[in-house]
Amino acid sequence: MNIPFVRHRLDNGLEVLIHADQNCPIVAVNVWYHVGSKNERPGRTGFAHLFEHLMFEGSQHYDKGFFHPLQAAGALLNGSTNADRTNYWEVVPSNALELAMWMESDRMGYLLPALTDAKFENQRDVVLNERRQQYENRPYGLAGMAIVAALYPPDHPYHWLTIGAAEDITAARIEDVRAFFQTYYRPRNASLSIAGDVQPDEALRLAEDYFGELEAGEEPPPFTCTPPEVRTSESRMVLEDRVELPRLYLAWHSPALFAAGDAELDLVAEVLASGKTSRLYRTLVFEQRLATEVAASQNSREAGSFFQIVATAAPGRSLSELERAITEEIDRFIQDGPTAVEMERCRAQAESQFVYRLQTVGGFGGKGDQLNAYNVFLGEPDYFDRDLARYREASSAALQRAAAAYLRPETRIVLSVVPKGRTALALVDAQPAVVA
Amino acid sequence: MAVDRTRLPEPGPPLSCNFPEVRRRTLANGLRVCTIEHHEVPLVTCFVLMPIGSSQDPGHQPGLAAITGDLLDEGSGDLDALAVHEALGRIGAHLDTEIGADATLLELTTLEQYAPRALELLASMVWNPRLDPRDFDRVRELRLSRLVQLRDLPPAVADRVFTQLLYPEHPYGHLPIGTEEALRALTIADVTTFHRRVYTPKNATVIAVGDASHDRLAALVAGAFGDWASPEGVDTDLVDVASLDAPPSPAGRVVTVHRTGAAQSELRMGHIGLARSTPDYHALLVMNMILGGQFVSRINMNLREEKGYTYGARTSFEFRKGPGPFVFQTSVQSDVTAEAVREVLAEIKAIRGGRPVTAAELELGRAALTRGYPRNFETAEQLGRAAVQLALYGLPDDYFTTFVPRVLAIDEHDVTRVAEDHLAPERLLTVIVGDRDKVGPTLEGLDLGEVSEAAIA
């Protein structure tokens, strides 16, 4: 299984990946910039994402909004920012490929001449509303901020979420936009994929014509950060929120994306909490009815990941009951490892997920997006097979070792989210959480 | 070669969309089977469509159809709840159950090699679920907890209040999850009786799409579902929502739901719209694209891109078997709630004639619907969902191939006419979930009818 492609590097450093798939008369154009909220600095958080919004507001040679001509051509389009990267894509009818290339190249090369104060201020308001809608006005919406703020010290770039602090977004200045563009939105810091109903020669010619003329610019400064110190004692926090059911979050530092142990912890999360037969669901929700829901995830990122377990208390049950039951299940997993049946199941799930990922050329997670992910993070767009092998070859002993190494009680962060005014429902000794 | 940046490249003409052949057959037990070949990826996706949505809930039992659908994968045949999921997990199958107003839809995706086992499990769930009292009790508790949690989720509160007030005493007047009172009163016997009555092969359509021939797909379905027999002497008539009268449409009004300190107001504005069978379907789709159906629509451009009030705003017609809602929805900064409402009202009035649709808007609305049409049929799941639409709403087989020419035949007059006929600014129900202290005083003088406050149900 793989995603076959042609690869070419333009003189200005832009990587071009082309995958032909004639199933449907559509093409996905996808651009990754290797910049995210981890390239921000304290006091200016949320900037990479705010910048992403401005990429949709028009560029020098077509300054009437990015959406209009593309939606008129039948495109679906979007973009997103996370800690490590920013991506943009459009899925167009195959005979509108040139339009998509024109538009993407224009904003890569010529965004700043079209930038105005009015656009900047408007999108700052939009982002502040996005923050209100997705975080402030949503139950448990601030928990993620409290978790990363506790896991990473203030000067570490994973200390804040990509959405950033409201006061930082408000404090952003248009000059910051110019500097950010000059530094990071360069062909050499980007990867372009074209996936779908195309002739590779033709697609490559369009890439050279439209993107080849863009200035290479300077190499962006290398990303550096000091890894957080290894935690030696548990840390307990409490956050009051407008919720009815208390919720418990457990989080640990874990190996970076693609590092040894990363895939294993992904599978540990699967065994612990994916589906009704998973250990935590079975114990907490099914048998003991302590929780209404439980989830586990290995949140993989370039400069270090975190493993998280989240469980919501059933009415009348306490977070300390949840904590005890979860800790027992982790201890048991560390002691005995996964069973043969669990290994069979989690491998089957992982393998079928890889096949499911081959279904679509575009959008978040489509084949074009995957090629860029492997290329930007590893420089190896053909990593699909080896990525699958990480999961196929993970042994039950390796899962057990990874859990033993990373999911220790003395290194965890524990956050209790409780109804406002009900801090007594938190685990004992919890300190008020810090949220920006 | 230097490219010309003085003008945008013209896309080519709209690409024709050849929907793949759908083959149909009916099994001896009355179950309808649709098959579609799709050989791109070695997968099979199978849908079981039961026209059993929340609108089939008996009047005093809102939530019955949904909890019944939820119990299907909680044990069937020889397998208890955990064993069902163990069996699905071992073949890497992915199961999803959706319950809407008109239907319950089960979707199962699996590698082609495991399709026989997967379909066997799926069939067993649908017609032979255990409906064990202990599982019922556990699932009901989870649903009650979910209802408690939804009280804190502004979009869910807004949807609930909007739905209840829009459709009083009507099968569309509640959300599928139902109410706490009704859920508490339900028994496993209610579920068993309901399942026996409406989950019959004559009511079911199975749609299998994937990397296998029509014959093999059909044989897989027949092998799994062929022995499903209709229970004797059971009334299988369903409520015909399409034939019911819509509730009376009162004058417009504004209902607020208080939420102390809310960072935003969650808004719904709308009224009862049209059924899927309306002859104005295509014209309404075009009109909605222009009004609020896409990013570059009038309402989103106004509220988001000009004013910065919101992260996004949209309108939609939900076309159902009976008349579904027309609704505008957004979440706006609290202090501009009244301004946002006023702008939306102005936009709804304008598209009815005050500021009629322009040729450029018409072209954009039609193009967005037609030029992008092929991408709706890329994956097995998309093809299967398309076939679900055909089956659920009784659409003709050439529906997808005639879609593009029918949309392109819509002109400015059609758009203005359907806006005049089917948008009713004087009958808008406006629901605002937000902070009374910040929003309340600003609502004076809105031309939207009486303002009242509702409690969170």
Predicted confidence (pLDDT) per residue in A144-157, tens digit? 999 999 999 999 99
Å from A228 to nearest chain B CA? 33
How many CB contacts within 8 angstroms connect chain A with chain B?
219
Contacts of B414 (CB under 8 A, 6+ apart): B283, B286
Alpha-carbon gap, residue A250 to A410, rounded angstroms:
12
- The string of DSSP letters for B386-417 reads HHHHHHHHT--TTHHHHHHHHHHT--HHHHHH
Tens of pLDDT, residue by residue over A37-50, are 999 999 999 999 99
Helix (H), strand (E), coil (C) string for A305-369? EEEEEEEEECCCCCHHHHHHHHHHHHHHHHHHCCCHHHHHHHHHHHHHHHHHCCCCCCCCCCHHH
Identify which of A102, A124, A244 has the shortest CB distance to residue B149.
Answer: A244
Task: Outline where B91-132 has alpha helix (H).
Answer: 115-127
The CB density around residue A290, as the number of other CB atoms within 10 Å, is 22
Strands (E), A155-275: 190-196, 235-241, 247-254
Tens of pLDDT, residue by residue over A170-192, are 999 999 999 999 999 999 999 99
Alpha-carbon gap, residue A160 to A408, rounded angstroms:
24
Query: Contact A96/B364, CB-based, under 8 Å?
Result: no
Q: Of B244, B322, B326, give the one whose Cα is nearest residue B276.
A: B322
Chain A residues whose CB is inside 8 A of the B144 CB are: 315
Query: Contact A95/B89, CB-based, under 8 Å?
Result: no
Phi, psi of A80 (to 5 degrees): -155, 155
Kindly state the average pLDDT of the residues A281-303: 98
- The string of DSSP letters for A33-79 reads ES--GGG--TTSTTHHHHHHHHTTS-BTTB-S-SHHHHHHTT-EEEE
Å from B23 to nearest chain A CA? 20
Chain A residues whose CB is inside 8 A of the B91 CB are: 348, 352
CB-CB contact of A384 with A3 (8 Å): yes
Could you tell me which residues are beta bridge partners of residue A88? A31, A79
Å from B38 to nearest chain A CA? 9
Identify which of B138, B263, B364 has the shortest CB distance to residue A71.
Answer: B364
Q: Of all helices (H) and strands (E), which one includes residue B135?
A: helix B133-150
Query: Contact A24/B15, CB-based, under 8 Å?
Result: no
pLDDT of residue A434: 85
Considering only alpha carbons, which residue of chain A is nearest residue B293? A71
CB-CB contact of B6 with A61 (8 Å): yes
Identify which of A23, A210, A244 has the shortest CB distance to residue B152.
Answer: A244
pLDDT of residue B442: 82
ipTM greater than 0.90: yes
Length of chain A: 436
Kindly state the average pLDDT of the residues A208-231: 94
- The DSSP secondary-structure symbol of A83 reads S
Alpha-carbon gap, residue A327 to A332, rounded angstroms:
9
Q: Of A123, A246, A130, give the one whose Cα is nearest residue B263.
A: A130
Query: Contact B296/A68, CB-based, under 8 Å?
Result: yes
pLDDT of residue B1: 63
Query: Contact A352/B93, CB-based, under 8 Å?
Result: yes
CB-CB contact of B14 with B404 (8 Å): yes
- The DSSP secondary-structure symbol of B275 reads B
Chain B residues whose CB is inside 8 A of the A348 CB are: 89-92
Identify which of A61, A123, A242 has the shortest CB distance to residue B152.
Answer: A242
Alpha-carbon gap, residue B208 to B220, rounded angstroms:
9
Q: How confident is the model at residue A211 (pLDDT cuts 50, 70, 90)?
A: very high
Query: Contact A129/B381, CB-based, under 8 Å?
Result: no
Alpha-carbon gap, residue A429 to B11, rounded angstroms:
63
Å from B108 to nearest chain A CA? 12
Query: Contact A26/B363, CB-based, under 8 Å?
Result: no
**Torsion angle, alpha carbons of B214, B215, B217, B218, to 10:** 110
Alpha-carbon gap, residue A406 to A398, rounded angstroms:
12
Considering only alpha carbons, which residue of chain A is nearest residue B83? A277
Alpha-carbon gap, residue A406 to A429, rounded angstroms:
23
Alpha carbon separation from A168 to A32, A124, B126, B261 (Å, rounded): 25, 11, 53, 22
Q: Of A266, A267, A246, give the one whose Cα is nearest residue A256.
A: A266
- Could you say which residues of chain B have pLDDT below 50? none
Two tokens, residue B16 = 């024709």
Q: Of A153, A120, A292, A307, give the one whose Cα is nearest residue A228.
A: A153
Residue at A101: amino acid letter: M
pLDDT of residue B13: 87
Query: Contact A122/B305, CB-based, under 8 Å?
Result: yes
Alpha carbon separation from B298 to A57, A68, A402 (Å, rounded): 16, 12, 53
Phi-psi region of A65 (alpha: psi -120 to 50; beta: other; left: phi over 0): left
Identify which of B9, B259, B368 has the shortest CB distance to residue A71.
Answer: B368
Handedness of CA A266, A267, A270, A273 (dihedral sign): negative
pLDDT of residue A207: 98
Q: Of B95, B135, B99, B142, give the one whose Cα is nearest residue B117.
A: B95
